[in-house]
């Protein structure tokens, strides 16, 4: 288990997940080596790239470790777990191959994470570089009971004031206590790249009684990627899988009416975008996998120490402005937000809260 040595003496393992990172992977490694925390080991886990980026990284930086998965798994959690299991440090910083951490990021995240033995993760404010400048992409968030993210300060300016460290429910670029992660069973490798592939581990940490913290004074910059309809299928499947594997049975029954309304809206959105086929394909996939969810539910439930009433929340769902292009849609969304928030005020009283065992 992590000891009491000074922060600057702690070995931090940096696990960079890579697929065809090209020159950007070298830039990410360069940023890591520029950290004010000097006791680092850097591991690049390559998910079957075909651009030679892993070889280029190892040639440029012979002292780093490379793990070649040899084939493209298309499962980011497989790649993450490989890096974590290869790590020697008690703390592992997971980094995507398009994210550069500020020099003071690792020391501050480590300080926050080690401040309390109940802390499991510490993550930074993520900044995205767009054609028209940089804006905040992720500034902490909470888990909406419908299975979605509540994202404060999404697209806000960089001078938005930082807050004290607070509970967080997502971010794949994160400093993790490796021993606590092993305790709850590592990342779930069934998730495709999309919503919940990282959020599921935050939920399970919180359910196990630990805390996950967002440190908005710490920054990392990532290059935004466009989302496509191909990604939509993964988002749909991941969300349904997340709900069915993780939520307590009581929670699913209590929020079922609101889930049904949300699902109708989601299907309507897919129709408008010409993606009904993607919606049904994802739904069929979940039904095919449904039988296997039971074992994971039992395994996750065995680690539970905190009820859903202390994990879930409500609030305005983030929907990109490009998806809400008409006054009618904006009005429908506003009414729906009001309904969902009102429903939560009633439903949360019926959920399990406090320590469950």
Where in the chain is CATH 3.90.550.10?
Answer: 11-223
What pLDDT score does 319 carry? Answer: 76
Residue 62 has what DSSP assignment? T
What pLDDT score does 317 carry? Answer: 85
Statement: residue 79 has pLDDT above 50? yes
List Cα–Cα distances, 14 to 11, 31, 73, 82, 86, in angstroms: 10, 11, 21, 12, 11
Q: Which of 225-229, 275-279, 314-318 ranks highest by mean pLDDT? A: 275-279
Beta-carbon count within 10 A of 103 CB: 12
Separation CA 8–CA 119 (nearest Å): 19
Among 32-36, 127-131, 174-178, 181-185, which is the least confidently predicted range?
127-131
pLDDT digits (tens, 9 = 90+) for 137-165: 999 999 999 999 999 998 899 999 999 99
pLDDT digits (tens, 9 = 90+) for 24-76: 999 999 999 999 999 999 999 999 999 999 999 999 999 999 999 999 999 99
What is the pLDDT averaged over residues 223-240? 75
What pLDDT score does 222 carry? Answer: 85
Two structure tokens written together for 163: 């807050």
C-alpha angle with apex 104: 102 to 105, nearest 5 degrees? 65
What is the pLDDT averaged over residues 117-126? 97
Residue 246 has what DSSP assignment? H
Average pLDDT, the chain: 92
213 compared with 74, residue with greater pLDDT = 213
Q: Alpha helices of 274-326 — where are they, by DSSP H?
A: 276-302
Confidence of residue 226 (pLDDT cuts 50, 70, 90): very low
What pLDDT score does 2 carry? Answer: 55
174 contacts 93 by C-beta, under 8 angstroms: yes
What pLDDT score does 296 carry? Answer: 94
What is the pLDDT averaged over residues 120-142? 89
pLDDT digits (tens, 9 = 90+) for 286-320: 999 999 999 999 999 999 999 999 999 999 887 77
What pLDDT score does 272 carry? Answer: 86
What pLDDT score does 230 carry? Answer: 59
Sorted by sequence, the CB contacts under 8 Å of residue 40 that are 6+ apart come out as: 11, 12, 13, 14, 32, 33, 106
Q: Is the torsion defined by CA of 169, 171, 176, 180 positive or negative?
A: positive
What pLDDT score does 329 carry? Answer: 82
List Cα–Cα distances, 291 to 186, 191, 241, 249, in angstroms: 21, 16, 11, 16
Statement: residue 357 has pLDDT above 60? no
What is the pLDDT averaged over residues 322-334? 80
C-alpha angle with apex 104: 99 to 110, nearest 5 degrees? 90
What pLDDT score does 310 carry? Answer: 97
Separation CA 131–CA 321 (nearest Å): 17
- Strands (E) across the chain are located at 12-18, 40-46, 65-68, 91-96, 99-101, 119-130, 133-138, 142-144, 148-150, 166-167, 174-177, 211-223, 312-313
Statement: residue 228 has pLDDT above 80? no
What is the pLDDT averaged over residues 321-336? 81
Two structure tokens written together for 239: 């969300």
What pLDDT score does 326 carry? Answer: 79
Sequence-separated contacts (24+) of 308-311 with Cβ below 8 Å: 308/145, 308/207, 308/247, 308/248, 308/250, 308/251, 308/351, 308/352, 309/348, 309/351, 309/352, 309/353, 309/354, 310/206, 310/353, 310/354, 311/143, 311/203, 311/206, 311/207
Please check whether the domain covering 11-223 is classified as CATH 3.90.550.10.
yes
Residues 52-63 as b/e (b if ≥16 CB within 10 A, e otherwise) read ebbebbbeebee
List Cα–Cα distances, 89 to 3, 11, 205, 257, 293, in angstroms: 11, 5, 20, 46, 32
What pLDDT score does 91 carry? Answer: 98
């Amino acid at each position: 288990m992590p000891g009491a040595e000074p922060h600057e003496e702690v070995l931090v393992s940096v696990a960079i997940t890579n697929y065809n990172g090209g020159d950007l992977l070298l830039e990410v490694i360069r940023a890591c080596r520029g950290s004010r925390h000097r006791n680092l080991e850097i591991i690049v886990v390559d998910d079957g790239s075909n651009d030679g980026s892993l070889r280029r990284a190892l040639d440029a930086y012979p002292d780093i470790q490379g793990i070649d998965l040899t084939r493209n798994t298309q499962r980011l959690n497989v790649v993450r777990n490989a890096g974590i299991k290869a790590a020697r440090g008690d703390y592992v910083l997971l980094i995507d191959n398009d994210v550069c951490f500020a020099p003071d990021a690792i020391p501050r995240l480590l300080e926050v994470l080690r401040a309390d033995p109940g802390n499991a993760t510490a993550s930074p404010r993520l900044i995205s570089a767009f054609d028209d400048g940089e804006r905040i992409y992720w500034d902490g968030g909470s888990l909406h009971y419908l299975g979605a993210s509540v994202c404060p300060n999404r697209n806000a300016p960089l001078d938005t004031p930082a807050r004290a460290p607070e509970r967080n429910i997502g971010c794949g670029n994160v400093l993790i206590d490796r021993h606590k992660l092993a305790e709850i069973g590592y990342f779930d490798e069934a998730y495709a790249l999309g919503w919940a592939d990282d959020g599921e581990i935050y939920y399970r940490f919180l359910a196990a009684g630990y805390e996950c913290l967002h440190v908005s004074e710490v920054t990392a910059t990532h290059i935004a990627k466009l989302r496509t309809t191909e990604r939509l299928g993964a988002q749909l499947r991941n969300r349904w899988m997340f709900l069915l594997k993780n939520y307590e049975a009581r929670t699913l029954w209590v929020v079922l009416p609101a889930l049904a309304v949300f699902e109708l809206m989601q299907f309507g959105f897919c129709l408008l975008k010409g993606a009904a086929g993607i919606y049904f394909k994802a739904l069929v996939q979940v039904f095919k996998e449904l039988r296997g969810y039971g074992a994971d539910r039992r395994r996750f439930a065995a680690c539970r120490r905190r009820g859903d009433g202390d994990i879930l929340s409500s609030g305005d769902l983030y929907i990109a402005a490009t998806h809400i292009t008409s006054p009618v849609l904006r009005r429908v969304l506003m009414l729906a937000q009001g309904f969902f928030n009102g429903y939560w005020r009633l439903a949360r009283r019926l959920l399990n809260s406090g320590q469950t065992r």
